[in-house]
Amino acid sequence: MNKRLVLGITGGIAAYKSCELVRLCVKAGIAVDVIMTKAATHFIAPATFQALSGRPVWTDLWDAREPKSMAHIELSRDAAGILVAPASADFMAKVANGFADDLLSTLCLARQPGSPLLVAPAMNVEMWQQPPTRRNKARLVEDGVVVLGPGRGEQACGETGDGRMLEPADLFAHVAALFAPKLLKGKRILMTAGPTEEPIDPVRVITNTSSGKMGYALAQAASDAGATVCLVSGPTSLPTPAGVTRIDVKTAREMFEAVKAQVAGAHVFIAVAAVADYYVKEYSERKLKKREHHPGLTLELAENPDILKWVAQSEKAPFCVGFAAESHDVLENAEAKRRRKGIPLLVANRAQDAFGRDDNQITLIDDNGRHPLPRGTKAALAREIVAHLAAMLDAD
Ligand code: CTP
């Protein structure tokens, strides 16, 4: 694919953040054609983007540099997509209603079917909450435009609330996804992620320190690779990955029920969740009182269902991928686990390296043996796992 992005800049103070976005794209080898509205040039000069992108910046529908005077058509052809960041309330209104009275809005209207258009709104909180803006946002989504954010926080106007443009690194993740090879196109993937919580009484649970980051990164990578992803998630504080359907659960038994309800028709099942092996047999409706159990409390635990094993042994089982977090003898334990659960691919990692962190070190284990990967961010490792999985599915 042509590694080129069209980046639209509209009038908003967040335009300065888009300088960093251009820098990140260029660093990743992505050519960026910047198109600015007139209002945008009041906030930042075209020369800044020209210097950062190393390419001409376009501001005028009638620009004579484009030989056929068709900049609104030529610029978007062969580009991986158009990202408008920041997207003002006015610009969203224009695109939502099909207006085309300057280069950027005309370019958006003239894009080819299937060519991605992403917008990153940036505006004052009141503007964002006004009914016309909400209507325009809903219409854009209906028209297949991807609306990124906005984020929440302190605004340039001094107010606080929704309307901040997403940070450049977050926007870059969406740009990178545009260029991800569609290795899993047409595949339906069911996943579990995060910890589970097993209640003891109304205020206490048994859980573990899984943050869900690896599972969420893998859900994002699979979705970026073209898969339809359903993520059954234990409690985490993470945002739902773009394009992924998420089902929230708490206990292992709830997770099991959600998986059973979703598994029909899935091509792949990936169990990343750190499922609690046991639940508390006698849940107490009343909060347990210390003085009633002095000097110690004994909880009786019962075994939870093994979700991965159940799916792997079911009739018409999808291709199953498991994770093993081990504290010692990682690879030997992981190999035994893969055989025990009867699954073709297992991702082994050291629990101390993995839980709660942004990076990890993993080894993929399949019938051909061990495939160690160099330490990397969970996002980068997720892309490697997707590539390995796609190759195995192709060979299947
Ligand atoms: N898993 C699952 N359901 C469970 C337990 C585990 O689906 N009740 C899945 C996990 O999501 C993971 C894999 O099985 O993909 C391995 O999990 P792990 O807890 O390491 O395996 P256990 O079978 O519990 O083995 P052990 O306690 O001996 O480490």
**Would residue 25 show up in a list of annotated catalytic residues for this protein?**
no
pLDDT band at 111 (very low <50, low <70, confident <90, very high): very high
Going from the Cα of 276 to the center of ligand 1, the distance in angstroms, rounded, reads 8
**In the predicted model, what is the mean pLDDT of the chain?**
93
- Do both 13 and 157 map to the same domain? yes
Query: Considering the domain boundaries, does residue 227 fall inside one?
Result: yes
- Indicate if ligand 1 lies below 6 Å from the C-beta of 259: no
Question: What is the model's pLDDT at position 2?
Answer: 61
| Average pLDDT over every residue of 321-333 | 96
* Confidence check: pLDDT of 88 > 80: yes
pLDDT for position 67: 65
Which pLDDT belongs to residue 61?
85
- Helices and strands (H, E) in the chain, number of each type: 16, 21
Do 158 and 198 lie in one domain? The reply is: no
Distance (Å) from CA 306 to ligand 1 centroid: 7
The answer to whether the CB of 258 is under 6 A from ligand 1 is no
Q: Is 256 in the pocket of ligand 1 (CB under 6 A)?
A: no
Residue 1's pLDDT is: 47
Residue 338: band (very low, low, confident or very high) from pLDDT cuts 50, 70, 90:
very high
Other beta carbons within 10 Å of 298: 5
Residue 266 lies in a domain: yes
- Among residues 19, 108, 157, 320, the one annotated as catalytic is 157
Q: How confident is the model at residue 368 (pLDDT cuts 50, 70, 90)?
A: very high
Name residue 182's amino acid. Answer: K
| Residue 14 pLDDT exceeds 50 | yes
**CB of 201 closer than 8 Å to CB of 241:** no
Distance 313 CA to ligand 1 centre (A): 15
Which segment of 28-37, 287-296, 318-327 scores lowest on mean pLDDT?
287-296
Q: In angstroms, what is the span from residue 391 Cα to ligand 1's centroid?
A: 25
pLDDT higher than 60, residue 358:
yes
Let me know the angle formed at the C-alpha of 164 by 235 and 53, rounded to the nearest 5 degrees: 110
Residue numbers of the domain that contains 356: 188-395
Domain with 14 in it: what CATH number? Answer: 3.40.50.1950
Residues 149 and 207 in one domain: no
Q: Is residue 168's pLDDT more than 70?
A: yes
Distance between CA 6 and CA 12 in Å, rounded?
18
Domain edge (last residue) among 110, 143, 178: 178
Q: Do 233 and 341 share a domain, yes or no?
A: yes
Structure tokens at 354: 């993995």
384 C-beta closer than 6 A to ligand 1 = no
pTM of the model: 0.81
